[in-house]
Amino acid sequence: MSEFRVLVSCPLITDAIDSFADQFNSHGVEYDVVEVDQQLTEAELLEIIDGYDGVIAGDDEFTAEVLRSADQLSVIAKWGVGTDAIDIEAAEAEGIEVLNTPGAFVDEVADVVIGYAISLTRNLHIVDRDVRNGAWPCPQGVSLAGKTFGVVGVGNIGSAVARRAHAHGMDVVGFDVRPLPDELVNETGITAVTLPELFERSTVVSLNCALNEETRGLVGTELLDRLGSEGYLINTARGELVDQAALVDSLESGAVAGVGLDVFEEEPLPADSPLTDLDNVILGTHNAQNTREAVESVHRHTVDNLLSSLTSGSTES
């Protein structure tokens, strides 16, 4: 008889979870895979969470009510980095360990940020579309070299973005609640500035900060106006960092030049979103992290976190 029951609710690992069956069996773990489109809601979790010792979670809504009702739950192994859907204080109060995979997807997300920057400033998405439709457009773009790149949130991913921007000949400015890393400053010349100044000075701004109560709705009309009609915004972090209605208004009016969005306030993005009608927008599917190599690494790390916590309480932090 299995010693532990585990719920697998992260859709990004479900196709690969059976490859860990022997590892689960050797640790006395029985696992159930639930069919999930994007994430489980609070109501859905409340219906099924009872009786599980651990969860491999995606962006499921682990609210305080869910955590209080999970009598056996001892660990949530979060696939990936972001834990904003989990009430961390409630988890601590209930003695539930929350583990993620820090450092995951750093290079992968940073590569996509620069890809968005190049595509937007050179209109590559428009050229591709029009050539497929029989046209032969030759739009004039904007050079990156010599321009300023602003990084909001200079952690692991933000630092990788800064290095790539510097490699493209751009001046780099950054905003973070913590001092900028000395090594990064020496390597890239990145300068710490206030958030308004960052938007004022930058041609391209990349959001790479965590979502919390302080950063929710961080970017609205005021900052977008500071970015200006020649500025580009890229968000590969969390959709709720941006006031999406204000962003649409700024795009439609030409107050900003364009945006690259891998994340949205509501995911999947509704088919009738006004963002889908705009040429100066590149749309993603919250997929910036998704490379074969990175995903396989996070699979292993997440399973190891779960099993270590269940069987010994010893985890890699």
**Residue 223 identity (one-letter amino acid):** L
> Is 3 designated active site?
no
Residue 196's identity, in one-letter code, is P
As a whole number of angstroms, the distance between CA 163 and CA 152 comes to 14
Selected catalytic residue, list 164, 201, 238, 299: 238
Whether residue 267 lies in the annotated active site: yes
286 is catalytic: yes
Residue tagged 């859709």 (tokens): 11
Which residue out of 27, 125, 286, 301 is catalytically annotated?
A: 286
User: What residues form DSSP beta bridges with 98?
Assistant: 76
Strands of the sheet containing 232-235, edge to edge, are 191-192, 171-175, 148-152, 204-207, 232-235, 258-261, 281-283
Locate 157 and state its tokens. 């991913």
- Please choose, from the candidates 288, 281, 295, the residue with its C-alpha nearest in 3D space to the C-alpha of residue 236: 288
* Cα gap 204→172, rounded to integer Å: 10
Beta bridge pairs of residue 62 = 86
Q: Which residues are catalytic?
A: 238, 267, 286
